[in-house]
Chain A
């Protein structure tokens, strides 16, 4: 185990782009665990951590929804780790009674067996109306017909005391589709991912608290050729357990202009006391400054590395980190995209695997120049 101080590291594996590792059912979790051990502090997003009925809880890993993660990387908000969240659950009114019951039983199980603090629970006033789409690149996108119903339900949960929100939306079943068959065979894109991201982005942007999403679907017939990377989604009746566990210890989101006095780089900054008011109007309001007095904040300026698939470097978080001159570790993780460091003109450290990336993170943590680990020695006079 390294004796060096933790090196806060950002792990990004964008959802819905068909990554060979991380493009399925939480199948980047082993990489996240290794990177957490190497760095001592890993910030990553639900797509990396969510494996339906499977999950891994590690206090070194900070579970941050993608919209908030982009703002964190841009230096617009900080993360305030906390021992527990009160997770409100928003259930789509479009769910059938049996699916609804299955999800309520997951909530009961997570209370009884894991001791999670869950509630309140409510249904949206109207079905959310999720639909799925593919973009020009083949990556998955999606939308909801009634975002107002989503946002109103979120507001009601916050008013009732929720400090984080798990959303369960009814997704369209398409059991005979070629896309689903390819995904289950380990060669396709997660068609649900794009719409899931839109739902959670909308809620986090509106409420300013941790949120994550689980799709509700009817069970599929067993497939003897199911790819192991997709298997976690077929263990149970819902995808909700991992979301509840992830949110239960997700960090608070603290708007940085109100985190006055917080250091840009170096040590952990301490500000305000309590929590910021939820709701879009409270998102960045004065209450935020008073919200975390004495709390340890994690900020983008403290990041020591960002790890992302070599072909998917065109997202907001990577670009923000690159603009700050942060070491960018580009991992060979094939996906639909070819937006590489070379194509974008970004400096990057290549890694052939997440194991190699973890070694590079450990080298950075120990103050070793990664260049010194390769032969021939680059830059030799």
Chain B
């Protein structure tokens, strides 16, 4: 199998890493969570990024919701494997 790390770059979508972040604005609704993820991604420079796959992976008393997921930005796919927390 070819090693993807040594393949020539393609134009178009690509995967990029993203750092974990904390938010204090989420409530328990799909629209709120998506808005929170979008805001986080925007703050990291990924404007107009769209969450592709996400889930609340923990509920921490006093700290809020922890989320993990992957987002897509038009021509760029953005990996968000870290944590997103919000106060509830």
A312 to B4, CA, bound (A): 33
Query: Hey, what's the 0/1 contact readout for A325-366 against B, CB within 8 Å counting as 1?
Result: 000000000000111100111100000000000000000000
Tell me, in angstroms, the Cα distance from A126 to B12 when the chains sit together.
13
Number of B residues whose C-beta is below 8 Å from A? 35
B14 interfacial contact with A, CB 8 Å: yes
Given known A129-B4, A345-B28, contact A316–B14 (CB-CB < 8 A) = no
CA distance A133 to B33 in the complex (A): 23
Tell me the chain A residues, 81-108 only, with Cβ under 8 Å from chain B.
94-96
Would you call B30 an interface residue if the criterion is a C-beta within 8 Å of the partner chain's C-beta atoms? Answer: yes
A122 at the interface (CB under 8 A from B): no
For B56, what are the chain A residues with a Cβ–Cβ distance below 8 Å? Answer: 314-315, 339, 344
Please tell me if the beta carbons of B57 and A146 are within 8 angstroms of each other in the complex. Answer: no
A residues 117-152 near B (Cβ < 8 Å) are: 126-131, 133-137, 139, 141, 143-149, 151
| Nearest opposing residue in chain B for A141, CB measure | B81
Instruction: Give 13 CB contacts A-B under 8 Å.
Output: A74-B30, A131-B4, A134-B81, A146-B14, A147-B12, A147-B14, A151-B12, A170-B1, A172-B1, A205-B52, A314-B55, A319-B30, A338-B59
Taking beta carbons and an 8 Å cutoff, which residues of B are in contact with A? 1-2, 4-5, 7, 10-15, 20, 28-30, 33, 52-59, 65-68, 70, 72, 77, 79, 81-83
Which residues on A are within 8 Å of B, measured CB to CB?
Answer: 14, 66-67, 74, 94-96, 126-131, 133-137, 139, 141, 143-149, 151, 170, 172-173, 197-198, 201-202, 205, 312, 314-316, 319-320, 323, 337-340, 343-346
